[in-house]
Structure 1
Amino acid sequence: MESSPIPRSTPDLVMPPDNIEGSGGRPASPGTGAGPGDEAQDGTPVAGPSTPPPAAPVPKRPARRAPRPKAEHSTAYTTAWVPGLFNIKNPAGDYLQRESNVDVFRQVSVARARREKEELETERQKVAEGESAEQQEEDKPEETNPLTNILVIHPGSRNLRIGRASDFYPHEIPNCIARPSSAVNRGRDPPVLGSRAKRIAQEHLEKRDPKKKKEVNGAANGGDDAEGNWVDPVDQGIGYARDYLREKLRANRLQTDWREGSRVKAANNRVKPEPIPEHNDPYRIEWTETESKNYFIGEEALRLPPDSGFKVRYPILRRGLNRRDWTNHQLLLDDIGTIIEDALRKEMNITPKDYHKFSVVFIVPDHGDRFYVQEMTALFLGVMGFKEIAVHQEAYAAIFAAGMSTACVVDIGAEVTSVTCVDEGNLISDTRVNLAYGGDDITSALVNLLQRSSFPYRDLDLGRPQEWRMMDNLKMKICTLEEHLVANTPWDFYVLKPQGMTDKYVFRTYDENILAPLCFFDTRMIDFEEKEDNGLLQPWIRPALVDDELLSSYGEPTGAMRSCTNHLRPAPPTVAEVLAVANGSPERSDVTPANGSPVKPSGSQDADPVVKGSDTPSVQVETNGIATATQEGTESEVLQQESEEPLIEYNIVEEASKVPLDAALAASIALAGATENKIKAAAASILLIGGSSALKGLGAFIADRLPSLLRARHLPIQDVSIVPPPRGLNPRFVSWKGACVMCNLESLSDMWVRRDEWEAIQARALKDRYLFL
């Protein structure tokens, strides 16, 4: 019986190949026992030693190299190493982590190092020259006023006010530029106020009777009779104002003879011009010669002859960039920079090479376009190269000049009037109201009134700069809001001519000089459609989704503006109307605004009264500019459901700009504070500033009309107080002077935006410094 071989339990028991017969290895020596698994010659297995012989050494494998790291960005255009992002998921603070903090810290450190280096170099130079202490004391320069290196700039729609912070009065120049009519990209000629109404009246007159054309410039009434369809809107607005004036005179028991109006008209028809010799002419001017330059600034532009071939344009329109008359954004900014540079060189003897030594305090409107501030800042710092800039609002600067901490500031400019309340040095943003009329509208209304009273100067053209200035000066001379001055009054004016002698005209007025300023309180005399900004240069339009960094309330509707447009909202439905709609009644009452009379805003259209997808007649009700519709259901369901189509759509900012001045004042004062004392304090300190606020009788007229409007808002205010500007200070310069006063405060040092900071983070520098932006 054969025995099976011993099984191999582990790989260690495997015999080396040199112990196997026939393997070519060394044979086993005699006398030694065979290992496990060996067999005798006859095939009988024998026992081997218990310890196997050592195995042959295994050859070592070559060491494997470490794998090379995978190359990232192997297709980059540069070999520069880009550091990774810093982990800021859970920061303990933002010091030196935000761009603004890092940049401000860098500016402070660099400025300190530069100052220390300059002082050290100066001391070494003095020691090297061997100057004694006495000589250094004698040669020490006199200390200069630091305010002389600060420029205060206040651009207006008609004039530019600029000067050093150490000056008492600014340099005021016309903010205009004249370029040839044939220039490339010259833009569009600015429209003349009142031209649209005259054109419409002329078209209707020619349609009514083509053979019999009447002069719109004369005393003819462009409207039809009582049975006609069309009435001249200018005559209609004048009629409203004249009716109010008659009621006012009757209430004050002032006797007047209304036949004086026809007598004034007859007297003006007989007026002939009186030539003034050159040696007796006190108003003679030197007309500008057009052969020297291809553009003119300020007074030179206004003194161009009418046949010079130049067009005068104003780059600031309604306290913002004039996108209406310019075709290119960069050309507009270049013209603004040219005007400022020319004013600095001629008026203050400051050349562009010295701009880096001066800081700028820029005065901006209380409510306006945020991008106007950014573009002007980029112009001052990036293009012109000033050292730093600080931005302040007009109302905030005005209270410093007047020495008041609480006030309701009314700034009446040439094209825009703004109303803002300031409480304890804080400008209340919800009280801001921007009105789209100013002193130019009084000038236009005065011209319309005088032309209907046979104005003796028949060739009047407001498109000529000198004739516009003549009528503007005549407005400030004769216009008033004092009702007792309604009388047959003589006046005179002078017409300047580039060729020939100056003509003197003497004319008379009856109530025209009082009716013209009433356009501030009855805005139906103003053509707002003519003021619409249908310009060639489109403004920046905010998309639906935009980063929060770009959002700002600087130009958004305020609470006072919404209060001024409450009359455009329809009245809520009555219970009877709601029940009638819920019951499926086919009858429905018309929806009227809250004041009881239907009002249709400019540009709005009638809405469809039927709701889509419903067979039941419905009534639509608007709430805050959104129309709601009612359908079948209970009363609560009817009031909650909304319609897809709005009943009335209107722009709050645009519609609020058309309200009268006293109504805007009442809406602003009503939001001046949460307590009654704050509201009374604002009503007792109404500050009138601006060039057109110097109108005679304006303060007393506002104080007479405003208390009744405040009581209508349930405010217990019996009277208001009008605060005049400081003595000896022109109301046109109040905001400018207030900015000069602010330059003496230590807090202004925290508001400067340096040029290198602007180049680093751009508009974010303004956003971090000023909350109103």
Structure 2
Amino acid sequence: MVGKKSGRALMREEGLERTDNNMETTSWPQVAPINQKNYYTEFMKREDQYLAFRTQEEEARNRMIQEARDKDRALALGVQPGTVNVNDEGVAEETTASVATKEAYLSKLIIIHPGSQNLRIGLGTDALPKTVPMVIARKWKESESEEDGGEPKPKRLKVDGIVPAAANPEKWFGEDFANQYQAMCSELRTRMRGNKRRVLPNSKELVINFNRRTPYDEITEHNDMNRIEWTELPSNPKHAPEYFTGQAALRIPEVSNPRYKLFWPIRNGMVNEKDYRDRSQIYHDISKIFEEAFKRELGISRLKDLVNYKCVFLIPDLYERKYVEMMLDILIRDLGVGKVCLQQESLSATFGAGYSISCIVDIGAQKTSICCVDEGLCIEESRINLKMGGADISETFVKMMLYDHFPYAEINLKRRYDYLLAEELKQKYCSMDEGDVTVKAAEFHLRAAGQDTRLYHFKTYDETMLSVMGLFKPSIFEQSSKLEGRRTVIPRSVDLYDGSPNDPISSAQLVVIEAAGGKTASVNGTQESTTSLAVNSTPSRTQQFNLLSRLKDENELTPRSSVAGSPGPEGTPNPDRDTPLGDSDQPLIFRDPVLEKTKQAEERDKVVPIMPLDHAILESLSQGARGDDRKMRDFFGGIMLVGGGSKTPALLSFLETRLRELRPFYGKEILVGPPPRDFDPQVVAWKGGSVFGRLSPSGNDSWVNQEEYEKLGARILVHKCMFPW
């Protein structure tokens, strides 16, 4: 019997014993396994791992080195650094060197505030900006007034293909406009009688009869003291420039050779996709307008010099990401500006006015924005963007005057000189003062290229007030063409990871869209109405508090039953899940959240956000206060109207009266005022951008330089913007 062998003997006999020759099995380094119970990583957890912070630290270090060199240079020249000059009155004064340094810094600072109608641009050393029309005229086969068969604006309705005769202007704009106009006239007469105003019963007839029978007078060119200098074109059409910008574009004759067409890159506060078919054309038109403004208004003749300049660029409060990215790309990559900083318009307006808490109402040419600002931040849920403004008032004013037999019945707002004429008449005669609603005689000069000047006499009555009243009754405005071409040229911005729409939206804007779409929505400032509308917005803290107050009453010791319903029996499908529960015969339902968000965004893009101005302000205030009564009273006492539309006489007092009628229990706190220190309301936002740009470079980390933008693109805005990007 063979004895039992050990395992080592078996390994040796079978040839399985391991023999070690002290050589490594591989030349690759072997990493010891980590203890998974206690391990961590520092990836993207330190500021020095972000390019934005590293660049900022490098700039601060270079600044300290430069200051040290300047100090040594001053000591070498025998000047004691750090000394402060004191005048005879004991007041400290800046030294000549510090003043020169500040002037040099401000002379390299550019502030740009673009709008749908005007571009305001200037240097940090300027007290007021230069105003340039935001338009470019390019060679085209026909002018804008000759397109669509020469159809005028405002559009005259046709009956059986024929425009009604000039003797029947009441039928030009349809029954809907006529009914609304008559209703507004009746409401105004009733209101004036209630305010003890004298109302003549035959005022309309006096205006119509005078306008109908009064002819115009012709004035020869050499007798016209205020004749217009039109843009001159060379005799040879081949030598004509490819484009004109600014005021020169508006002064090109309508029948010029060659023809020129006006393009407005920004319409209604958005990129103009109606008149453009290519994104690159919009890009180049905006770039050319900025470039010409730099050359003519700021004296920067070479684009190479822009690398030494900084630019504060104002964007809308409720912005579109594609719009901001396009503007940033134009300034840095196309024009070569050294550094760019983005600032929201409402926040910039508070900087210009010197307010810490306010509700900014910006009435522009084609856009009205409302936003509550508190302690240097725009409250996100209070932002509202209405697609109406001074241009709608001008068009409605012309329609109302034509309805009352305006003597210049051929007026066409597509013609450049008629467009400028309508703006002049609106600024001269429109008012919200009921005392001005009387029969008044007026006149204007019609100046067209190649024609003698015409002097028209006409009378006005209530058109001067009812046209501005459209801000509070926006149904009188023409809304049909404001969304034409929407999303056909510029695609919607989507999230990089899941592809869902990521343009910012607010609870207040959702209420406006729901109300404009004809759905039930809150226009009286209640918080509960927005809970079902805030699809992509952050729920407010007030809604959470309201839910807690439902669960438990302060006066009761026993908490109430839960608002949530009891769970259903086993097997009942749950609509809040992607698939039904239990053994049901119903088919499985899979919901794609990205697709749902996309559909909701598409539905919102089909609605023109329009709401009466007073109701929109109340909705913005309610979302900005978030149920805090003290903050609501602070906002009511700090309503500030800015923008060109706010310059209408008596608009502030009228709006204040309307708000007090809607909120009588806040009557003492409601105060609507203009910007302080007699500032022009049109330039307050620009002035705030200038104030922000004057801040110390070491304390402002919002600048985006070329190196950062070239490496990261628009992603750098996450670390640079003062607002959530």
What's the TM-score once normalised by structure 1's chain length? Answer: 0.71
Residue 513 (structure 1) aligned with residue 478 (structure 2): no
Note the alpha carbon deviations across 1:140-160, whole angstroms, 9 max, x for none: 995451211110000011111
Deviates more, 1:417-426 or 1:746-755: 746-755
Note the alpha carbon deviations across 1:47-99, whole angstroms, 9 max, x for none: xxxxxxxxxxxxxxxx99988879xxxxxxxxxxxxxxxx9982247455776
Note the alpha carbon deviations across 1:150-202, whole angstroms, 9 max, x for none: 1000001111100111210011111110001149xx99999999958735x21
Residue 256 (structure 1) aligned with residue 171 (structure 2): no
1:760 positional shift: 1.1
- Cα distance change of structure 1 residues 383 and 570 upon mapping to structure 2, 3 Å threshold: closer
Matches within 5 A, 1:92-241: 92=42, 94=44, 101-106=50-55, 108-109=57-58, 112=61, 116=65, 133=77, 143=101, 145=103, 146-182=105-141, 198-199=155-156, 201-202=157-158, 205-206=159-160, 214-215=164-165, 219-221=169-171, 232-241=175-184
- Show the counterpart of 2:553: none
Residue 738 (structure 1) aligned with residue 651 (structure 2): no
SS in 2 for 1:504: strand
- AA paired with 1:689? V
- Cα distance change of structure 1 residues 217 and 624 upon mapping to structure 2, 3 Å threshold: farther
SS in 1 for 2:318: coil
- Say if 2:446 and 2:454, in contact at 8 Å, map to a contact too: yes
Residue 689 (structure 1) aligned with residue 639 (structure 2): no
- AA paired with 2:160? E
- Say if 1:169 and 1:737, in contact at 8 Å, map to a contact too: yes
- AA paired with 1:263? L
1:252 positional shift: 1.3
- Cα distance change of structure 1 residues 536 and 216 upon mapping to structure 2, 3 Å threshold: farther
- Show the counterpart of 1:565: 514
CA distance in 1, matches of 2:23, 2:624: 80
CA distance in 2, matches of 1:453, 1:195: 18
- AA paired with 1:688? L
CA distance in 1, matches of 2:378, 2:522: 31
CA distance in 2, matches of 1:710, 1:8: 108
Note the alpha carbon deviations across 1:639-680, whole angstroms, 9 max, x for none: x979x999x999457657211111101111222323211111
Could you tell me which of 698, 706, 721 is aligned with 1:755? 706
1:214 positional shift: 1.6
Residue 348 (structure 1) aligned with residue 298 (structure 2): yes
SS in 1 for 2:311: strand
- Show the counterpart of 1:323: 273
- Cα distance change of structure 1 residues 762 and 549 upon mapping to structure 2, 3 Å threshold: farther
Unaligned runs of 5+ in 1: 1-6, 11-62, 71-86, 224-230, 572-592, 596-621, 627-633
CA distance in 2, matches of 1:535, 1:553: 15
1:709 positional shift: 2.2
Unaligned runs of 5+ in 2: 6-20, 29-35, 82-95, 235-239, 524-530, 536-565, 577-588
1:313 positional shift: 1.1
CA distance in 1, matches of 2:608, 2:515: 10
Note the alpha carbon deviations across 1:255-274, whole angstroms, 9 max, x for none: 21231211211111222222
- Show the counterpart of 1:75: none
Could you tell me which of 362, 373, 382 is aligned with 2:333? 382
- Say if 2:306 and 2:338, in contact at 8 Å, map to a contact too: yes
- AA paired with 1:339? I
CA distance in 2, matches of 1:193, 1:401: 44
- AA paired with 1:669? L
1:118 positional shift: 12
- Cα distance change of structure 1 residues 737 and 93 upon mapping to structure 2, 3 Å threshold: same
- AA paired with 2:155? K
1:253 positional shift: 2.4
CA distance in 1, matches of 2:97, 2:128: 31
- Say if 1:395 and 1:422, in contact at 8 Å, map to a contact too: yes
Residue 722 (structure 1) aligned with residue 672 (structure 2): yes
- Cα distance change of structure 1 residues 111 and 549 upon mapping to structure 2, 3 Å threshold: farther
- Show the counterpart of 2:619: 667
- Say if 1:669 and 1:682, in contact at 8 Å, map to a contact too: yes
SS in 2 for 1:459: coil
How many percent of aligned residue pairs carry the same amino acid? 26
- Say if 1:271 and 1:507, in contact at 8 Å, map to a contact too: yes
Query: What RMSD over aligned residues (CA atoms) do the two structures have, in Å?
Result: 4.4
- Say if 1:174 and 1:299, in contact at 8 Å, map to a contact too: yes
- Say if 1:412 and 1:688, in contact at 8 Å, map to a contact too: yes
Residue 357 (structure 1) aligned with residue 308 (structure 2): yes
- Cα distance change of structure 1 residues 407 and 534 upon mapping to structure 2, 3 Å threshold: same
Note the alpha carbon deviations across 1:84-120, whole angstroms, 9 max, x for none: xxx9982247455776x24531564377459859997
Matches within 5 A, 1:247-646: 247-291=190-234, 292-308=240-256, 309-350=259-300, 351-534=302-485, 537-541=488-492, 546-547=496-497, 552=502, 554=504, 556-559=505-508, 561-562=510-511, 565=514, 624=533
- Cα distance change of structure 1 residues 680 and 624 upon mapping to structure 2, 3 Å threshold: closer
- Show the counterpart of 1:765: 716
CA distance in 2, matches of 1:368, 1:195: 32
- Say if 2:312 and 2:340, in contact at 8 Å, map to a contact too: yes
1:546 positional shift: 4.7
What's the TM-score once normalised by structure 2's chain length? Answer: 0.75
- Say if 2:440 and 2:459, in contact at 8 Å, map to a contact too: yes
1:539 positional shift: 2.7
- AA paired with 1:157? S
SS in 2 for 1:168: coil
- AA paired with 1:177? I
CA distance in 2, matches of 1:684, 1:716: 10
- AA paired with 1:300? A
- Show the counterpart of 2:661: 708
- Cα distance change of structure 1 residues 117 and 750 upon mapping to structure 2, 3 Å threshold: closer
CA distance in 1, matches of 2:534, 2:713: 36
SS in 1 for 2:111: strand
1:551 positional shift: 6.3
1:710 positional shift: 3.0
- AA paired with 1:206? D
- AA paired with 2:204? G
CA distance in 2, matches of 1:680, 1:322: 39
Deviates more, 1:525-534 or 1:512-521: 525-534
- AA paired with 1:198? K
- Cα distance change of structure 1 residues 481 and 381 upon mapping to structure 2, 3 Å threshold: same
CA distance in 1, matches of 2:252, 2:207: 34
Which has more radius of gyration? 1
- Cα distance change of structure 1 residues 760 and 659 upon mapping to structure 2, 3 Å threshold: same
- Say if 2:507 and 2:534, in contact at 8 Å, map to a contact too: no
- Cα distance change of structure 1 residues 653 and 681 upon mapping to structure 2, 3 Å threshold: farther
Deviates more, 1:170-179 or 1:213-222: 213-222
